[in-house]
């Protein structure tokens, strides 16, 4: 065991998989010589060479088009997009090709491709460096969407993503890239995609969250305990496919639910989760399901970020509204 943060966990997973499988290729802007914009790929060029760690031109469209071609022809590329705000150039490749290839060829071809992208606000960056538009990708059949919240989960989930036979969008909450450190097994391990994690068991209310919001909700739980509110925390980890069973089982036990996410409220993934609970566990509810989310605006500049991101106080207010219903 060794202590690592999320960035280091990404690096470890990439390094281990590149050693294990020479089909794994890393490509993107500055991933080689500079080690990536956040240094997630540092040292890989020196160890594996420029045939497997490829510095690309500044073209997200070209990065993913090239990676898709590699995947179809038997490689397992991991493409880095520097910020989530730059993913819109690649939507055609994902929606029209990567996501449909298995169905289009009746299973003869697949696209084992991972697209990594830092996402979310909290580092005082411009708006197109701070977006949380993960719900866009959960609307696309044929791909998986994964968001880790801890270093240990990051390594295990990224390893599983690289080994997956289909395209995986791997979104990394950059706000906590270096904020959390924990022991990570040095040996190889995987964490199944599509399986949520029970972060904390509780009896009064279920809080469903992912990414950087998990850490905030854990702080909320500590504050709520002072008022005798016992929270059950679910970290989704995989947003698509959604672990519906874990959500419903928890809500049937607690009778209350709150969804917390950084993305805007309107048409966010929280709305889908609320609909799921209403469809599957309505008669178990003691209060309406609520959401505490980012605002329905463009991510503001530095001085406004703290008003945009769900805070401990805002989440506590939502909890109390449900508990006191």
State yes or no: is 128 an active-site residue. Answer: no
**Beta bridge mates, 114:** 78, 168
Q: What distances in angstroms separate CA 183 from CA 11, 153, 161, one per listed residue?
A: 15, 11, 21
Q: What distances in angstroms separate CA 323 from CA 2, 224, 257, 261, one per listed residue?
A: 41, 11, 10, 19
Q: Are 156 and 191 in contact (CB under 8 A)?
A: yes
Catalytic residue (choose from 4, 93, 97, 129):
129
d(CA 184, CA 154): 10
d(CA 196, CA 186): 23
Q: What is the DSSP string of 297-316?
A: SPPP-GGGHHHHSPPHHHHH
Inter-axis angle of helices 244-254 and 269-281, nearest 10: 60
- Of 253, 249, 260, the closest CA to residue 224 belongs to 260
Rg (CA), the chain: 20
Q: Are 323 and 229 in contact (CB under 8 A)?
A: yes
The DSSP call for residue 93 is H
Cβ of 141: how many Cβ atoms within 10 Å? 10
Active site residues: 129
């Amino acid at each position: 065991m060794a202590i690592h943060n999320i960035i280091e966990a990404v690096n470890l997973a990439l390094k281990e998989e590149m050693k294990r499988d020479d089909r794994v290729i890393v490509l993107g802007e500055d991933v080689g010589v500079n080690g990536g914009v956040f240094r997630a790929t540092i040292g890989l060029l020196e160890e594996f060479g420029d045939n497997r760690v490829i510095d690309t031109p500044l073209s997200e469209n070209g990065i993913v088009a090239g990676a898709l071609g590699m995947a179809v022809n038997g490689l397992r590329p991991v493409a880095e997009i520097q910020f989530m705000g730059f993913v819109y150039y690649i939507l055609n490749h994902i929606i029209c090709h990567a996501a449909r290839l298995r169905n289009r060829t009746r299973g003869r071809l697949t696209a084992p491709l991972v697209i990594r992208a830092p996402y979310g606000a909290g580092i005082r960056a411009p708006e197109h460096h701070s977006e949380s538009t993960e719900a866009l990708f959960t609307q696309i059949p044929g791909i998986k969407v994964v968001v880790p919240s801890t270093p240990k989960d990051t390594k295990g989930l990224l390893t599983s993503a690289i080994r997956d036979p289909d395209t995986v969008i791997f979104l990394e909450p950059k706000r906590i890239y270096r904020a959390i450190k924990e022991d990570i097994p040095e040996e190889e391990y995987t964490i199944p995609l599509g399986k949520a994690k029970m972060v904390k068991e509780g009896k009064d209310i279920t809080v469903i969250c992912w990414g950087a919001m998990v850490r905030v909700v854990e702080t909320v739980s500590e504050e709520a305990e002072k008022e005798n509110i016992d929270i059950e925390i679910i970290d989704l980890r995989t947003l698509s496919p959604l672990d519906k069973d874990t959500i419903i089982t928890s809500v049937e036990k607690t009778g209350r639910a709150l969804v917390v996410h950084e993305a805007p409220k309107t048409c966010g993934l929280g709305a889908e989760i609320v609909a799921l609970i209403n469809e599957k566990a309505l008669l178990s509810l003691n209060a309406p399901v609520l959401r505490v989310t980012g605002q329905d605006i463009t991510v503001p500049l530095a001085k406004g970020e703290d008003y945009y991101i769900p805070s401990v106080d805002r989440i506590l207010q939502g909890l109390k509204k449900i508990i006191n219903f």
